[in-house]
Amino acid sequence: MSEARILFGFHAVLSRMRQHGSSIQEIIIDQDRVDARMRDLLEMAKSQNIRVIQAERHRLDGFIGAHGRHQGVIARVIETPMPYKDIHDVLESDLDEPPFFLILDGVQDPHNLGACLRVADAMGVHAIIAPKDRSVGLNGTVRKVASGAAETVPFISVTNLARTIRELKEAGVYIVGTTMDAPGSLHNTKLEGPIALVMGAEGDGMRRLTQETCDALITIPMFGSVQSLNVSVASGIALYEIRRQRVLAGGKA
């Protein structure tokens, strides 16, 4: 029997209801925040026979140990099986375009992982891959910041990232790493076909071994005075460019 855990935030709960409503045991809402969008959410819960409890805000605060971050809605959920348990599942699945991965080499801030999930969903990434060690996992904050994308983008944790990258390469996936001082530029690099974009950690960037396994290293040209971009912003820019090139090459628009 899977253990129940707490999911919070309006979009995180809504997305879970849309994707796997049957995994929600009950929804608890702030009785003083029943506005129009909350009423829509309640309607959907009713149509799926999900139990809804109205409670005072402090009870919701108590669940997550923080005041108000739940946006007035919390769900008690059971873990749902991921559509892909490893990269081979993705590579062997019936994708309607070449595989498209985002690899995060040691992202530790839940807000950054949440934002990466959100933009990965928007750009049609098939899965995010991250090492088990030194990385934040899918916790409540990540799911809330992801705004529902943690329920839609498969997140694959691996014990040995360098080995996983080698396996992707053997399967014909082009591995493109991003660093501040790379020889190549996002402006003039061909990013079509099966691809995995690799991003480094907030403080230290990409590990040397990871860099060495990349087929290409590129930089996102910057024109101001800051030394680097936030990892989720850099992911967004590079993923957008990959999607743009796919569309121009006649792929999914």
Ligand X SMILES: C[S@@+](CC[C@H](N)C(=O)[O-])C[C@H]1O[C@@H](n2cnc3c(N)ncnc32)[C@H](O)[C@@H]1O
Q: Residues annotated as binding site for S-adenosyl-L-methionine?
A: 200, 220, 229
Window contacting ligand X (CB under 6 A); options: 17-25, 51-59, 196-204, 242-250: 196-204
> By rule CB under 6 A, what string of x and - marks binding of each residue 64-103 to ligand X?
----------------------------------------
**d(C-alpha 173, C-alpha 17), whole Å:** 33
Report in angstroms how near the CB of residue 245 gets to ligand X at its nearest: 17
Window contacting ligand X (CB under 6 A); options: 26-34, 136-144, 163-171, 201-209: 201-209
Those residues with Cβ within 8 angstroms of residue 246's Cβ, 6 or more apart along the chain or in another chain? 97, 98, 100, 192, 252
Report in angstroms how near the CB of residue 72 gets to ligand X at its nearest: 33
Q: Which tokens go with 64?
A: 């997550």
**d(C-alpha 122, C-alpha 125), whole Å:** 8
CA distances from 17 to 83, 139, 252 (A): 16, 18, 27
Within positions 206 to 235, which residues make up the interface with ligand X, using CB under 6 A? Answer: 206, 219-220, 222, 228-229, 231, 234
**192 membership: H or E segment, kind and range:** none
Report in angstroms how near the CB of residue 185 gets to ligand X at its nearest: 9
Told to check if 113 binds ligand X by CB under 6 A, we report: no
Positive or negative CA dihedral for 94, 242, 161, 147? negative
Q: Beta strand 216-219 with 174-178: parallel, antiparallel or unpaired? A: parallel
Report in angstroms how near the CB of residue 178 gets to ligand X at its nearest: 3
Q: Which of 178, 191, 194, 195 touches ligand X by CB under 6 A?
A: 178
Q: Which of 53, 66, 95, 180 touches ligand X by CB under 6 A?
A: 180
